[in-house]
Structure 1
Amino acid sequence: MKNLLVAGILMSGIAFGQVKKDTLEKEYKLEVAPYKAEKKEKPLPLSKKGQMFVFFGWNRGAFSNSDIHFSGNGYDFQLNNVSARDKPTKFGIVYFDPSWFTVTQYNFRLGYFIKDDLALVLGIDHMKYVMKQNQTVDFSGHISDPKYAAMVQNGQVDLSDSQFLTFEHTDGLNYENLGLEKYKNLVHKKNIDLVWSYGAGIGVMFPKSNIKLFGNERSDRFHVAGMGADLRSSLNMVFWKNWMLRAEVKAGYINMWDIKTTLNNKPDKARQDFVFGQVLAGIGYTFNTKKYN
């Protein structure tokens, strides 16, 4: 009996020791098991913080009529309800040759997503503004030079012969702007996404105005002339994950209070404000600044 008791104690000790050993080994294996990082899927385009895009395209513009006020040595007058148009370049190789890209009415965008679906966008809108030459407009004010004062008849002046004034922002009506844009994915397929955006921007007007007033030498230089603001909306088709086709509409307000009208830093200047509309289209590329598996 005593021998049986001793044998039982020995057997239970061995069994308990084996269970304890197995338990410790399992706990140890759990502790030293290698850590596997959670797999990060590449996000939808134009949707996540840290994404960027670049874009280049071309535009057509339209402008409301505006009152243009001129002041300088010997004159201070206003032309009322002046109409203008844009000046698109005839389609050809000029649209694709980098050495000639400033000749066209172009747009550039650089966007960075500061939050999910919200991008800060730096833009350059190179529009062209040309006063319609064949028009007669209302005149108010005075001109001391009898030659040009005589061109005013019954409170109006005929601009059609170009002797009184030619007035353009064709190199161009440059709107350098910073905007915020909200993005929403509408369609998500294997190789195609359709993304809608809307937003607003504000910026400075940096035109190169081509102006010839009263037969003076033409003013033709870049100058910060005022400010602009806009509302915009776009449709973006992203294909092959990174390439982007973009179509955008924009409406805004421009106020330029310091337009240079003569050379040699004379005090002569003009001011005007107007509403503009713009449609544009082009191609871009979107990419991530963060790595995804």
Structure 2
Amino acid sequence: MKNFFVLALIILGTQIGLAQDIDNNNKPDPLSKKGQMFVFFGWNRGAFSNSDIHFTGNGYDFQLNNVSAKDRPTKFGIVYFDPAWFTVVQYNFRAGYFIKDNLALVLGIDHMKYVMNQNQTVNFNGHISDPKYAAMVQNGQVDLSDEQFLTFEHTDGLNYENLGLEKYKNLINKDNIDLVWSYGAGVGVMFPKSNVKLFGNERSDRFHVAGIGTDVRTSLNLVFWRHWMARLEAKAGYINMWDIKTTLNNKPDKAQQDFVFGQVLAGIGYTFNTKKYK
């Protein structure tokens, strides 16, 4: 009787194992099938090409040529993990839905930071009616280093809110690990909170739809246990902002600029099926 009981347990365990194997085999690979979703949160570093910035307003119409800028990453610390402060850092959010096998529609928010390099002298074209600031232009150039003429940032931030299509391809498929490559492109609106102080005026600091952006992107996604994912993404794109607010009032003062950007980001995410598989 005892031997029979042991044999019965062995047979039952074998059947359960086979059922689990069949169930696992019927579940699709992660990031591969229509109806799957993923969410992702990460952090970025960015780089920007030089750009010409055109300023217009009451009493001035001029352009600063070949202006350089950089990003401003927050020093690593608890701020990167505290939900109350996550918007302080240069962050990225993604939500993707597979509309077809291996093809996802991805909603993204790229919170970059753009800071004009203050210690630079740039070429100047145009006119300024205020004699104080007109006198700062010497031999067709203006020195920005003392911050009296201009400070210019998109640090709260250079927000690129975009929608993209991404194609996915499984490179490695193991029991608990998948490596999936993706590539795609996106387009969206620029919604910066620009910090601008021009000619000693009160600093402009408010959110505003300023223009559009577009990008191409590629990523590697390492998926553990079919759900948890680590993502490394590279992106390059073009930004054109023709309505950057430079004052706090309702005057028509504004700036225009366009530039190319590059971005590398990394973070963690979760992927899941929206329907059951037998």
TM-score, normalised to structure 2, is: 0.91
Deviation at 1:144, TM superposition (A): 0.1
SS at match of 2:74: coil
Q: Deviations over 1:158-180 (max 9, x none)?
A: 00000000000000000000000
Instruction: Specify the SS of the correspondent of 2:261.
Output: strand
1:106 equivalent to 2:96? Answer: no
- Residue number among 210, 213, 219 corresponding to 1:234 in the alignment: 219
Q: Which residue in 2 is equivalent to 1:45?
A: 30
- How far the C-alpha of 1:266 sits from its partner, in A, is 1.1
C-alpha displacement of 1:109: 0.1
Residue in 1 that maps onto 2:124:
139
- Aligned residue for 2:26, secondary structure, equals coil
Q: For residues 214-247 of structure 1, what are the alpha-carbon distances to aligned partners after superposition, in whole Å with 9 as ceiling and x for unaligned?
A: 0000000000000000000000000011000000
- Corresponding residue number in structure 1 for 2:80: 95
2:149 maps to 1:176: no
Q: How do 1:19-168 and structure 2 match up within 5 A?
A: 41-168=26-153
Aligned pair partner of 2:242 in 257, 263, 272: 257
Matched letter for residue 101 of structure 1: F
2:258 is the alignment partner of 1:280: no
Give the Cα separation in 2 of the matches to 1:263 and 1:43.
53
* CA drift at 1:62: 0.1
Specify the alignment match of 1:21 in structure 2: none
Partner of 1:99, secondary structure, is helix
Runs (4+) off by over 4 Å: none
For 2:194, which of 204, 209, 221 is the aligned residue?
209
Superimposed CA distance per residue, residues 91-141 of structure 1 (whole angstroms, 9 cap, x where no aligned partner):
000000000000000000000000000000000000000000000000000
Rg larger in structure? 1
Q: Which residue of 2 aligns with 1:24?
A: none
1:189 aligns with 2:174: yes
CA distance in 2, matches of 1:232, 1:147: 46
In structure 1, the gaps of 5 or more residues are 1-37
Amino acid at match of 2:93: F
Q: Give TM-score scaled by structure 1 length.
A: 0.87
Q: For the residues of structure 2 that align with 1:63 and 1:74, how far apart are their CA atoms?
A: 30
Task: Determine which of 259, 268, 271 is the counterpart of 2:256.
Answer: 271
SS at match of 1:94: helix
> What is the distance in 1 between the residues matched to 2:85 and 2:194?
19
Encode CA deviations 1:36-55: one digit per residue, 9 max, x unaligned. xx978100000000000000
Question: Which of 220, 223, 233 pairs up with 1:248?
Answer: 233
What's 2:208 paired with? 223
User: Aligned equivalents of 2:70 and 2:32: distance in 1?
Assistant: 37
Matching residue's letter, 1:115: K
How far apart, in 2, do the equivalents of 1:151 and 1:241 lie? 61
Alignment partners' CA distance in 2, 1:240 and 1:186? 16
AA in 1 matched with 2:145: S
Distance in 1 between residues matched to 2:276 and 2:205, nearest whole Å: 48
1:292, distance to aligned residue in structure 2 (A): 1.3
Deviations 1:10-48 (A, max 9, x none): xxxxxxxxxxxxxxxxxxxxxxxxxxxx97810000000
- Alignment deviations for residues 185-205 of structure 1 (CA, whole Å, 9 cap, x no partner): 000000000000000000000
Pairwise CA RMSD: 1.0
Which amino acid in 2 is paired with 1:216? N
